Amino acid sequence: MTDMNPGKNKVIGLCGRSGSGKTTVCGAFEKLGIKSIDTDKVYRELTAPCSDGTPSKLVSLIRKRFGDEVVRSDGSLDRAVLAGIVFGEGNGENLRDLNMITHEHILSETERRIDKYFREGVRGVIVDAPALFESRFDKKCDVILCVSAPDDVLVERIMKRDSISEEAALRRLSSQISDKELRERADYIIENDGETDLSLAAGNVAGKIFNK
């Protein structure tokens, strides 16, 4: 485990395109004593049905914009149906509208959790936020870390992980910020071309961040 010197609590914003390996990197940081927050999991929790089976406040807002078909009979959000609406070709406006609805709620809950961790004495928190820059949450981070991988590797990983076609995987990537731009906006970069030891790479980056 990396020996981290005392210092200011730090929020690490993690970016990278779908399939780049951000979850694995978060796990490596967790082993170093850095708490992680996956904003997609926060989103899932915020869109889970209420205890009485009715839609949550966030799901109700999404339904108001995109229609009843995005809500399952148990009150939960039908992410597959919603994905078809926002990630289809020419649906950029739908994706922007969804982000406008969800970002505020997701980031508010994320900040609450960060504050809780810091009150508990945690040295740092790494936040896996797929929309890190679109939501402007990068402004609240002390450091930006990018996990990068070649497009062909990403497509293969997404197809296998989500059981979708190559065309669907490519559409998903096309809706995201380019790898080039993410790399330019990051303070640190981990290359994940399939040959990198992500745990070792994460440890090296953590040492640089916390021993400055």
Q: Are strands 188-191 and 35-38 parallel, antiparallel or unpaired?
A: unpaired
Q: Where are the strands (E) in 123-195, listed by range?
A: 124-128, 143-148, 188-191
Q: Report helix, strand or coil for 150.
A: coil
Residue numbers in the chain where pLDDT is lower than 50: 1-7
Q: Report helix, strand or coil for 162.
A: helix
Instruction: Indicate the residue type of 193.
Output: D
pLDDT of res. 89: 63
pLDDT of res. 5: 35
- Which pTM does this prediction carry? 0.84
Cα–Cα–Cα angle for 86, 53, 164, rounded to 5 degrees: 30
**For residue 180, how far is the Cα from the chain centroid?**
18
- Across the strands, what pairs with 87? none
40: number of CA atoms within 13 Å, CB side? 10
pLDDT of res. 6: 41
Which DSSP state fits 126? E
